[in-house]
Copies of this chain bind each other. A is one copy, B any other.
């Protein structure tokens, strides 16, 4: 096993990896930009290396600075986390060339599967179903127009190198096509350093279900079941869970999708952690979408239902060891669900809300896991993705897991910035959500049917007045006028889609 590993990432995933390294007795090296000197991953790591200014293009995406840090600190391996360089075959190759183990698949596997168009070709060859669409990036507006006519509107534009909804656009009619390609390309360029965009048929309101695969370098390749990630807002996952409520109705689907995922991974000579994403249409037919050749944000969901630690396993197989179990040893117990907690304002179109975390209370107790990247007093920088933490719950059944999440959301307090916790409170009590009839259009429909929130609770309002008066009194400030309490959510509806 390694003695020292560098983590080429930041935030909660860097903290997650530091924890795994510490549990395995491996020293951790954090990297940080100017904006992250005081970040949690830096204070928790054993060693830390400064790698440049705040913009990620000059720090977390700067291969040379990262490889320099690995050399100076004597790292043996590099964990890329998710995002940033995690799916960059050139970085995986550069690590290998510089003598570091890249904790992930081979550069060749990343190339074969990392771009969405290449992945589709592998899947077709492996006899896995795919969504109709282009097998090459869009090269001209004329080609795009012709392809869209053939596929039929609505179509979906996607960044070839992309993920997380960045560089993605729905196009309903030809008039929108050109502008949409321009926007998607420029966003793709900014996010992934590649402006390439391709097109596929838009499956209307599908479920989004993914399969976790895991392989070692000795040819063993297994799947660890599914995660349902249908709840998305602007193509960003919001809630993920296992088992998928669909699998409860069709238990044979897990194995069918699992085997399709293994075939695709196997065709690319895959090892380490990977995720095959599928769309499932209203008739429960599934189509391969793309392979994420890295650890996913939502991997804790799988950890809780299987009892495994995926980062431990990543380190194990990266060090050349065999997977310590086989497919028939994997079992799934209970129900796990994850909420992505973001610094964003649900009352203001989910606009990012960076700033200082004045007060922080994270939930705890039975069945609750918090993978956090923040601490009280820290200032969420404006330079990166505004995810603060992942809140994950586990219990014997889906209903209890949802209740547990609600309980934990109630304990969770983040003051000083806005977060989407209030949004989760609403979503988790929604009766349609509880029924498990999920699809990727679910949240948009949720916003439409959620006409207006309950009126402010007059008892809580009275308490707010009492407390504000007490606060002002103790500090000898001007007290608030007694009857002027204003519910924060008034008049917010016009700003929401």
Contacts and interface: CB of A to CB of B under 8 A. Distances in A.
B23 A404 contact: yes
A313 to B, nearest CB: 10
A375 B411 CA distance: 12
Nearest to A400: B23
A187 interface: no
Given A333-B307, A396-B308, A372 B364 contact: yes
Contact of A309 (B309, B367, B369): B367
Nearest to A304: B366
Interface in A16-71: 16, 19-20, 22-25, 44
A403 B1 CA distance: 15
A458 interface: no
A369 B371 contact: no
Given A403-B23, A410-B22, A396 B309 contact: yes
Contacts of A333: 307, 333
Contacts of A491: none
B307 A396 contact: yes
A24 B371 contact: no
A188 interface: no
B20 A366 contact: yes
A132 B158 CA distance: 76
Contact of A19 (B15, B44, B365): B365
B367 A371 contact: no
Contacts of A23: 400, 403-404, 406-407
Contacts of A425: none
Nearest to A310: B366
A395 B15 contact: no
A154 to B, nearest CB: 40
A395 B324 CA distance: 14
14 contacts: A20-B366, A23-B400, A25-B403, A307-B396, A308-B396, A309-B400, A312-B400, A362-B364, A364-B364, A364-B370, A364-B372, A365-B369, A365-B370, A366-B371
Q: 9 smallest A-B Cβ distances: which pairs? A: A23-B403, A22-B407, A19-B365, A364-B370, A23-B407, A307-B334, A23-B404, A307-B333, A365-B371
